[in-house]
Chain A
Amino acid sequence: MSAASKLGTEPSRLTRFLILSIIGLLFAVPMIALVIFTFKAGLSGGQTLDHWTGLFAPDAARTYRTLFTGIGNSLLLAVVTIGIVLVLLMPTMVLVHLQFPKLKRVLEFICIIPITVPAIVLVVGLAPVYSIVVKVLGGSIWTLAFAYGITVLPYAYRAIQSSLDAVDLTTLSEAARSLGANWLTVLWTVLLPNVRRGILAASFISVAVVLGEFTIASLLNRVNLQTALLQVYQSDPYVAAIFTLLALAFVFLLLLLIGWLGRSRRDRTTS
C-alpha cells in the first residue's frame, strides 16, 4: 500500500480495479453488441462473414456509392479544415502571443464561443450565409470546411495554445529578429518547429471532429461520412455498423497518437 493510499487520498488497487472494470464493462457491452451485430445473418439468427466480405465484392463500389462519397467528402473536408486551422488560426495565435498579449483573452473568448453556440444553433444562421457562399464559390462540398473550421476552434485553440505556452516564443523570435530574420522566416524556421506537436495535435483533433460532424452537413443537405452512414443504415444496417466500427477505431488510434505525442513531450522536458 502506497503512502498516498494510506492517507486515503488515492483508491486502493482493489477499489480502482472494481470501479474501472465495472464502468468499463458497462461501456464495452454496447460496443461488443455492435461488433456481434456485424456478423449476424439476418433476422433468422446464425453468424456470417458476408457483411465484411461484401465490402470487397466487385460491385461494392456501386452498392455503397453514397458511403464512399461520404467518406471521400469527409476526408476532403478534414484536409481543408486543417488548412484553415494552419493558415488562419495558427499564425493569428502566434502573432497575438508575440505582439498583442492584451488580445490573448479576446482571442480565447472568440475561440470558445462555438461551445456556447452549438452547431444546431449555428446552422440556422449558416443556411443564409451558405446561400451566398454557394453563389460566390459554387456548391462544392469543400466550402463546408469554412463552417467546420469554426466548430473545431475550441479544440484546435486548446491544442495550439498549450504548446505555445510551453516554449518561450518571445525570446526565440527576438533572437531570430535581432539576427536579421524577417517575420516569415521567424515563423517558418524558428516558431513552427517549436510548436509542431501542438499543430499536430490540433490537426488530429480537427480530423476527429470533422469525421464525426453530422448536424451541419445534415441540415445544409450535404453528404459527409455521418449523413451517408445514417442513409446507408436504413437500407443496410450491417455495412453502416462495420463502417461505424472502423471509423471509431480510426479516430481512437488518432487520439491515442495525440496522447502519445503529448506524453513523449513531457518525458523530454522532464528528462
Chain B
Amino acid sequence: MKNLAAIDRRWIFLAMGTLVVVLYALKIPGTLPVNEYVQSYYDTIEALPEGSIVMLAADFDPASAAEIEPMYVATIHHLLRRNLRVINVSTWPAAPPYTQKYFDEIAPQYGKVYGVDWVELGYTPGDDVAMGLIGQSLKSTFSTDDRNHAPLAQLPLLAEVSDSFRGIALLVSSSAGYPGILEWIAQVGGRYQVPILTGTTAVQTTALYAYYPNQLKGFLGAITGATQYLQLVGRDTPALHALLAENQARMLVQSWSHLLIIGLIVLGNVVYFLGKRGARA
C-alpha cells in the first residue's frame, strides 16, 4: 500500500499514453446526443439570410488546434454551404497560417471566389485593444489583406462593411483563451449588439454558460461540442464525413481517458483511507 501511495508518476503517464495510443489506433466511432448549446449554434447560422456577412475570428494556435480545428473547419463548411460571406480575422499571431490552409482546401469545393465570398485579413496585434478597433473601424485596423497583401479597397466584400460593425450579421469566434470570446463579448458584443457564437476549449466552456443565451447565442464546448456540431453539419456535407468519423473516434479515446482518471481518483482514495486505517491501528 505504501508503494502504491508513493508510486512514480511515470507509471501513470505510461498508462495514459498507452491507453490513448491503442484506442486512437482502433478508431471506433459512435454518435453523441446534440445538446441545446450546439443546436443553438447550428440554428443561428442556419437562420441567417443568404449573402449575410459573418466575421470569423481565429483566436487559437497549434497548441489548441486539436480541440478547435474540427469546429473551425466545420464552421467554414457551414458558412460557405449556406452562401454566407466570411471575413476572417485573428488576434492570435499563430492562427493565420491555419486559416489560409483551410480556406484553400474548402472554398473551391463551393465555388467561392476570394475577395467576393471571403477575405482573410490576418493577425492584428493588440489583444482586446485590437478587438475594440476592429469593432470601431475594420478598415482602419487592417490596411491590406493577409493573402495577397492587397489594399482593402480591392476587395468587393468589404465595400458592404462600415464602421461600428455595420454590415456584419454575426461574429463567430473559435477561441482558445486570451484574447478570445470573453473579450469579443466585452469589446464588440455589448457595444454593437452583434450576435456572437463561439467554439472553445474545455476549460473555457464552464464560463460560457453564464453568457448564454443573452450575450452568446450558442457555443461548442471542446471536442464533445465539435463532434456534436459535425454530426449536424456533416448530414449535408460529405466532405466532413471523414473529419466526423475521426472526431467520433477521438470521443472514444476521451471517454476511456476520463474513466482512467476516475479510476486513479478512486485508487488514490482507497490507498489514502487504507493508509489512514493502518496508521491508526
Determine if chain A interacts with chain B. no
